[in-house]
Structure 1
Amino acid sequence: MDLRYHTPLSPEMQSHLGIAPTAPLAMADQVRFSELDVLNHVNNAVYMQWFERLRVRYTQEWGLSRSTGADKGPRIVIRSGQIHYRQEMLMDEDYVVTCGCTGFRTTSFSLAQTLWAGGTLRATFDCVLVLLTSDGSARYPIPDDLHRRFVEIDGARDENM
């Protein structure tokens, strides 16, 4: 099976790569030389860049991001986040980053992100994102259609109930 970089991976492809459970959005890439530190493994800060890249893509595909050219829409900020490094990453390793919503409230939602290589979970990042108005002065409510998408596609729970 051919691993395609920078292209969303189907649940079937994720399962084939040993990712369980599968996620609503997953994309593959390969470790580059520029991402290594003096110990010849991936620098810890790079993991955050990988997670961010997919998180931005997730908000774009779920219709939240203003980076797609829309003038209106929320400002998205990370309220909190926790990363757990499980195993080092090395040069030329293929990897997959996943992303999915686990729960949401009125103006915020929780994302679970994972990093996999060779069928092994290498790192996790759990964060809470808050939606603000475009000027940042107030909270921005999550639209109803996004609530439905969180529940139906991501399997997230409504934490307001």
Structure 2
Amino acid sequence: MSEKISDYKFRTPIALRFSDIDAVGHVNNAIYLTYFEAARFAYWKEITDWNLRKDGVIVGRSEVNYLKPITLEDEVYCYVRTTRIGNSSFDMMYLLVRVTPNGEEICTTGKTVCISYDYTRNKSVPIPDKEREKMIAHDEPRLITNTN
């Protein structure tokens, strides 16, 4: 995953907690998925206004690429964007960055495959049109692979 901050429009702060830190003083590797989850929900709320009680989403796969450690003293943000949209699934990419005197430094990249899901029928369903259109409009059609 070779990602550029300039490809992302959505950014949200990540609150680091003392309990996130391991014995070496870094954020524990398992915590990164929680950061991605928090950023993903912030994106859905602000960009798509996705009604998750009506139209569910489950995670089908997650990837994390650890590039540089994050510590409790770091000021951290997560960039999020949709990179692929299919019929019922879509990919979201993440950049975790820390603020340095020279600007933002990418510490971690990640990806989740999200699936539009109907919990009452226990099966995947097409992505709702409104949410699909808002993700494409926000993240620019040129940056999204549409596999419909």
Where does the alignment leave 5 or more consecutive residues of structure 1 unmatched?
1-18
In structure 2, the residue matched to 1:151 is 136
Where does the alignment leave 5 or more consecutive residues of structure 2 unmatched?
none
Identity percentage of aligned residues: 20
Name the stretch that deviates more: 146-155 or 87-96.
146-155
Among 117, 125, 145, the alignment partner of 1:132 is 117
Report how many residues are paired: 137
Question: TM-score of the superposition, structure 1-length normalised?
Answer: 0.76
| Structure 1 position 115 matched with structure 2 position 103 | no
Instruction: Note if contact 1:75-1:136 (Cα within 8 Å) is conserved in structure 2.
Output: no
Distance 1:136 1:130, change over 3 A: farther
| Structure 1 position 98 matched with structure 2 position 83 | no
Between the two structures, name the one with larger relative contact order (CA 8 Å, sep ≥ 6): 2
| Structure 1 position 64 matched with structure 2 position 50 | yes
CA displacement, residues 82-127 of structure 1 (integer Å, 9 cap, x when unaligned) = 1100000112210111111001011111100110013211001111
Distance 1:90 1:153, change over 3 A: same
Distance 1:157 1:150, change over 3 A: farther
Q: Which amino acid aligns with 1:139?
A: S
Which structure's residues are more often strand, by fraction? 2
SS at match of 1:21: helix
SS at match of 1:57: helix
Name the stretch that deviates more: 48-57 or 151-160.
151-160
d(CA) in 1 for partners of 2:121 and 2:65? 30
Alignment RMSD (CA, Å): 1.8
Question: TM-score of the superposition, structure 2-length normalised?
Answer: 0.82
